[in-house]
A and B are shown apart, each in its own frame.
Chain A
Amino acid sequence: MLALIRRKMKFQREADPEWAEQISKAPGCDRVFSCIQCGTCSGTCPLSIYMDFTPRRIIALVREGFRTDALSCQTIWLCASCYSCTVHCPQNVHITDVMYSLKREAIKHKLYPSRFPIPVLAREFYEIVRRRGRNSEFWLVLRMAMKSNPLVLLTMAKTGWGLLRTGRMSLKSERITRIRELQNELADPQEVSR
């Protein structure tokens, strides 16, 4: 029976107010504490209906410092950063930016749901651009698929064909000329100084 019944209770010991403070310091996140929980963000979000926590609840979790829930949820990865919440929010909470800072945290601490393709995509993208200075949609999708779930390639084949036929899929991946400088710029200062 216990398999069906789950015990739900938030203990204050799980809360981490410092973390909430820290998030609110990230660029664009300064107003999380002004949220009045009106739900406009969720209402206007095209993806809230697929999220495990609505954006409003994410803000609530952040404010109360429930770090693990906020970082391990799918919500932040479903955010397509369309900024609808940000422009509609009556309290000027830049929800999109909050989502971004949560994504960064989740990646940093490897807290994102396993085999969830979006973070994988992000990191592959990061890698490709880091190496070539430009992105190649073809290789990106390929690598992402390989790392998350190769089966999707099958469903994608059709689309791929359509693109190929109309000359919209370029297999060659471009690279910028001053890539060395770029990598040097991207490297974090400490490393450089060393």
Chain B
Amino acid sequence: MSERNGIVRIGVYVCHCGTNIAAIVDCKAVAEYAGGLYHVTVSRDYKYLCSDPGQELIRQDIRDHKLNRIVVASCSPHLHEHTFRTAAEGAGLNAFYVHMVNIREHNSWVHENREAATKKAQDMVRAAVRRVVFHQSLEKVRVPVHPDVLVVGGGIAGIHAALTLANAGKKVYLVERQPTIGGHMAMFDKTFPTLDCAACILTPKMSSVKAHPNITLWAHSDVTKVEGYVGNYKVEVARRPRYINEDLCSGCLECIEACVYKEPKFIDEFNMGLGKRKPIYIPFPQAVPQMPLIDIDTCIQFKSGKCKKTCVQACGDRHAIDFSQKEEIRNIEVGTIIMATGFKAFDARRTPYYGYGTYPNVYTSLEVERLVNASGPTAGDVVLRDGRKPKTVGIIHCVGSRDEGTNRWCSRVCCMYSLKLAHLLKEHTDAEIFNFYIDIRTPGKGFEEFYQRLLSEGVHFIRGRVAEVTDWALDPTEENKLVLRVEDTLLGTVRRIPVDMVVLSVGIEPHEDAQDVRRLFNFGCGSEGFFLERHPKLAPVSTFTDGIFVAGCCQGPKDIPDTVAQAGAAAAEALALIDTGFVEQEPNTAYVIEDECSGCKTCVPMCPYSAVYFNADTKRAGIHQVLCKGCGTCVAACPSGSIKQHLFEDDQIFEEIEGVLTYA
């Protein structure tokens, strides 16, 4: 066999990874064992192979012992394969003569029995040694990276990423589902802990998005199809009709004034239903694009076709209003994609014991954000749904967080925004405020100081998760109040606290359609539904799909500073790819041995990328190397064994199988 590939000289290197591996796997024994295997010229164990001296050790051996195959038993190839391949190249050996054995993640970290773990490591090394004999020299495939970028989601994350890229001179497509960009941040009143007004810091960024020559903003639009691969994505965007022609509309908003509905009459989504709007409306004054849209469910023209169309008259010869507008499909090509689709606020109805939806004076934190907002439905005046002004307020933390019944995770921001709301409510109403918390978590710049400030403002902090919010009264002091029953765990007794207003600090959860979205883009998702980063520490904004990056709460709960930082990081990652100009692809492509192929076409339907084709002239199958992503499904399907796959040749895998099984 080996003769087929010339004289094989293998070097085997077993890494201790400090004690990470050595504590469970007897690295010395493994190295000694490997030394006795056929074709193995050098075999060593070493403390940290990924370190410079470690790599140098390998390079030196390649030179001294004319090694032409390298087996490294250490961590996961996902972590260090690149490192060791580069090391080998450094000594003039083709990178693909290197093979890694995972004896850390798959062994020392998951096993406890030293003997069994060592045995397993030896089996795996033996398999690798037999495998590399059949390795061949390969060249990496280079594909160019399209310089344009798609940013999905127009919240603060998407906005920041888009601006960063645009300012770097890259063309950016920013696609937002809602009629305006701004996301959740646009709904907030103040931001913790500095209490600077959200609108004041956000709206300038929003308008510069609109104004930026490098940014194409498509609001009220959805990504409907994604094809291709890193550097060369083909994306289809569906632009839902606003019934306003954006080229003609000047954003004067007179049409809204003129609507036949003199008074706003319909649920105003942006204000969480606390306010009203007209059928033709703009979500909020600083919305971007600064342009109204028509809600066909409430617009008379759409419902009956019999409307005076005062809006059209108001628009006059601009003729910007177009009832016949249809959905438009746009197809774009981009090289990289940044996902910034944000989050969904927890639906408080899922915790019925807090009475949201039953008792009108129970609010969610997001509703309160609007309520205290100067540009909100009550112009910042805090009045309850029953018209009263609250004298006592209870703020319940961790609603839809840290709860096996709803969401297990901590939403990270609730503690701080609850403090913020406590402060704002006190400021607006001078009410007596009770915070009910399980733990106060203020890990952030200026956070703990803010907590101190609240304490000094005389806000009550009661450590205990409220059991129930009810309206049943034991005595007159509790009549017409909402009563919170809770254990004050610091006093060690149960308390009944009557309040006028209850605020539920709802947590952060993934969008309902998060799974569909990431399937559309074809990348991973954690079990709870947040987008999965490539590595929690070392690749926090990359996904397992090259060229797609994540930023903001779609990846996990985080506050505005973290979101912006992550958005910047995602933009930088994209820039790095674009400026390199190309990506090197793993040469694990499949290929047809032409004169062995019978042209049976079994392979053709296997390929989701149409890389496999049937050549009608030669009557043989063929594979476009650029299109092939190296899954190997066609290889496994080929009935006559005439398709092979670089790096995963049948022989290599058969050797691995026999390697792990044949005891030596």
Which residue numbers of A lie inside 8 Å of B, CB to CB? 36-45, 48-49, 54, 56-57, 88, 90-92
Q: Is the CB of A56 within 8 A of B353?
A: no
A-B contact pairs, 10 of them (CB 8 A): A39-B463, A39-B489, A40-B466, A42-B489, A43-B486, A43-B487, A44-B485, A54-B492, A57-B492, A90-B404
Once A42-B494, A43-B464 are accepted as A-B contacts, the answer to whether A48 and B402 lie under 8 Å apart by CB is no
A120 to B14, CA, bound (A): 67
Which residue numbers of B lie inside 8 Å of A, CB to CB? 353, 398, 402-405, 438-439, 463-468, 485-489, 492-494
Q: Is the CB of B492 within 8 A of A43?
A: no
A92 to B408, CA, bound (A): 11
Query: What chain A residues lie within 8 Å of B439 (beta carbons)?
Result: 36
Q: Is the CB of A43 within 8 A of B438?
A: no
Query: What chain A residues lie within 8 Å of B402 (beta carbons)?
Result: 36, 38, 90
Query: What chain B residues lie within 8 Å of A57 (beta carbons)?
Result: 492
How many Å from the CB of A93 to the closest CB on chain B?
9
Q: Is the CB of B464 within 8 A of A39?
A: yes
A40 to B353, CA, bound (A): 11
Query: What chain B residues lie within 8 Å of A56 (beta carbons)?
Result: 487, 489
Q: Is the CB of A43 within 8 A of B485?
A: yes
Q: Which listed residue (B465, B466, B468, B494) contacts A48, Cβ 8 A?
A: B494
Q: Is the CB of A39 within 8 A of B486?
A: yes
Once A36-B402, A90-B403, A91-B404 are accepted as A-B contacts, the answer to whether A43 and B468 lie under 8 Å apart by CB is yes
Closest to B439 in A: A36
Query: What chain A residues lie within 8 Å of B485 (beta carbons)?
Result: 43-44
Closest to B485 in A: A43
A97 to B274, CA, bound (A): 44
What's the A-B contact tally at a CB cutoff of 8 Å? 63
Q: Which listed residue (B465, B466, B493) contacts A54, Cβ 8 A?
A: B493
A90 to B403, CA, bound (A): 4
Q: Is the CB of B467 within 8 A of A40?
A: yes
Q: Which listed residue (B404, B464, B468, B494) contacts A92, Cβ 8 A?
A: B404
Most chain B beta-carbon neighbours within 10 Å: one of A38, A56, A88: A38
A56 to B489, CA, bound (A): 8
Query: What chain B residues lie within 8 Å of A54 (beta carbons)?
Result: 487, 492-494
Q: Which listed residue (B463, B465, B488, B492) contacts A40, Cβ 8 A?
A: B465
How many Å from the CB of A185 to the closest CB on chain B?
37
Q: Is the CB of A43 within 8 A of B465?
A: yes
Query: What chain B residues lie within 8 Å of A38 (beta carbons)?
Result: 398, 402, 438, 464-465, 489
How many Å from the CB of B355 to the closest CB on chain A?
14
Q: Which listed residue (B403, B463, B467) contacts A44, Cβ 8 A?
A: B467
- Closest 7 pairs (CB-CB, A-B): A43-B467, A39-B487, A42-B487, A44-B467, A38-B465, A90-B403, A39-B464
A177 to B81, CA, bound (A): 75
Q: Is the CB of B467 within 8 A of A37?
A: no
Closest to B484 in A: A43
A90 to B402, CA, bound (A): 7
Query: What chain B residues lie within 8 Å of A37 (beta carbons)?
Result: 438, 489
Query: What chain A residues lie within 8 Å of B467 (beta carbons)?
Result: 40, 42-44, 88
Closest to A42 in B: B487
Most chain B beta-carbon neighbours within 10 Å: one of A43, A49, A90, A92: A43
Closest to A53 in B: B492
Q: Is the CB of A90 within 8 A of B468?
A: no
A56 to B486, CA, bound (A): 12
Most chain B beta-carbon neighbours within 10 Å: one of A36, A37, A45, A90: A90
Closest to B489 in A: A39
Query: What chain B residues lie within 8 Å of A36 (beta carbons)?
Result: 402, 438-439
Query: What chain B residues lie within 8 Å of A43 (beta carbons)?
Result: 464-468, 485-487, 494
Q: Which listed residue (A48, A90, A91) contacts B487, Cβ 8 A?
A: A48
A161 to B487, CA, bound (A): 40
Q: Is the CB of B494 within 8 A of A90?
A: no
A48 to B402, CA, bound (A): 23
Query: What chain B residues lie within 8 Å of A48 (beta carbons)?
Result: 487, 494
Q: Is the CB of B353 within 8 A of A88?
A: yes
A88 to B488, CA, bound (A): 17
Closest to A47 in B: B494
Most chain A beta-carbon neighbours within 10 Å: one of B485, B492, B493, B494: B494
A25 to B489, CA, bound (A): 27
A57 to B487, CA, bound (A): 11
Closest to A57 in B: B492
Most chain B beta-carbon neighbours within 10 Å: one of A42, A48, A49, A54: A42
A40 to B494, CA, bound (A): 10
